[in-house]
Amino acid sequence: MSFRVFYSPIFRGHRPEGYHPENPTRLDYAIRGLSEKGLWNDELILEPEPVSPADVLLIHDEEYVERIRKLANTFEYLDPDTYVSSATWEVALTALGAARDAVKFAVKKKGLHLALVRPPGHHAGRSGRAFNASTLGFCIFNNTAFAAYALRELRGKVTVIDFDAHHGNGTQEIFWNDGDVIHIDLHERDIYPWSGYEHDVGGKGAEGSKVNIPMPHYSTDDDYILAWMEIVLPILEGMKPDVVVVSAGFDGFLGESLTTLRLTERFFRYAGAMLSGYSLAVILEGGYNVGLMKGLPAFIGGYLNGEAQEGPVEPGYEALSTIQRVVEVQREWWPL
């Protein structure tokens, strides 16, 4: 299977003044982790081309896009969480280009095609903040939604899996009424952006196309693996996609500071291995240090090797209850 990374040094140009968790050093952690596993060399890296401003209007409203363009000439905060800097406009357009390229390559040849981009995007809705979220959550343009849109144009139906620790509210809002975009989202319950609950199943006519799995605080590998076994895998089997868009966040890794999740290489390796039957367009979302250094290469390694760590799964009671509630809601549309 092929493996490619769509990356540009331009992604370092979006930078804060002073400390902010979403900063260029995130790329250093990711590249270091990939390098240590032999997954980073010139032969694997392709530099993406930026999309046009008109392309952005496929997923975002013109007023929002124009606001970003005008503000991104200097440094300014859009909200308490999210900033723009002098290079943000070019960076954001190039990140969308990387997402588009990952999809194009995934359609042409089976493999894992990684858009190693920043800033992340899955909290950005059509006009900015999505589903009444308090902020944009570090995001500018929705890279995953752009990838899903590109794949929808090629394949008609799309499957998106988001395992970032935070709910991908922007992606779900953009496709809320689109029953041809199946969006499965595993995330920590009751944290930013305070959305993505079991009964959030899609808009009228698109019910069942949005599958939310709000996992309890302090969830472990076993909890997430059971959710994957009981919900994600049966839906994938029902859809039988040849290409899957993955909104890949690693901020749930044990030692990351923005969530309470306690995931390790075991879950991410398992997730990669369970997706090895599909061609993937993987779009980087969260992860700020150890998650990128350890979780990202574990996910890629699991995919390329097709092997997950064997052993019993012993989930906690809260995780079992959550999974049961999701199954009860979603079995109306899926063979769970």
Do 94 and 143 contact (CB within 8 A), yes or no?
Answer: no
Residue entry with tokens 């979220």: 133
CA dihedral (123, 124, 126, 128) positive or negative: positive
DSSP code of residue 10:
G
> Where on the phi/psi map is residue 313: left (φ > 0), alpha (ψ -120 to 50), or beta?
beta
With CA atoms as reference, report the closest residue to 161 among 266, 97, 98, 233.
Answer: 233
187 is catalytic: no
DSSP code of residue 141:
S
Do 115 and 283 contact (CB within 8 A), yes or no?
Answer: yes
Q: How far apart are CA 165 and CA 148, in angstroms?
A: 20
Do 231 and 139 contact (CB within 8 A), yes or no?
Answer: no
Q: How far apart are CA 28 and CA 24, in angstroms?
A: 7
Given 14, 113, 123, 183, the catalytic residue: 123
Structure tokens at 324: 């049961």
Q: Which positions ≥6 away from 255 have C-beta within 8 Å? A: 289, 290, 291
In a 3-state reduction of DSSP, which class is residue 45? Answer: strand
- Cα of first residue to Cα of last residue in the chain, in angstroms, is 30
Q: How far apart are CA 126 and CA 145, in angstroms?
A: 10
Residue entry with tokens 């305070």: 194
In a 3-state reduction of DSSP, which class is residue 271? Answer: helix
Q: Which positions ≥6 away from 36 have C-beta within 8 Å? A: 297
Distance of CA 282 to CAs 44, 106, 200, 286, Å? 15, 9, 24, 12
Residue positions annotated with a catalytic role: 123
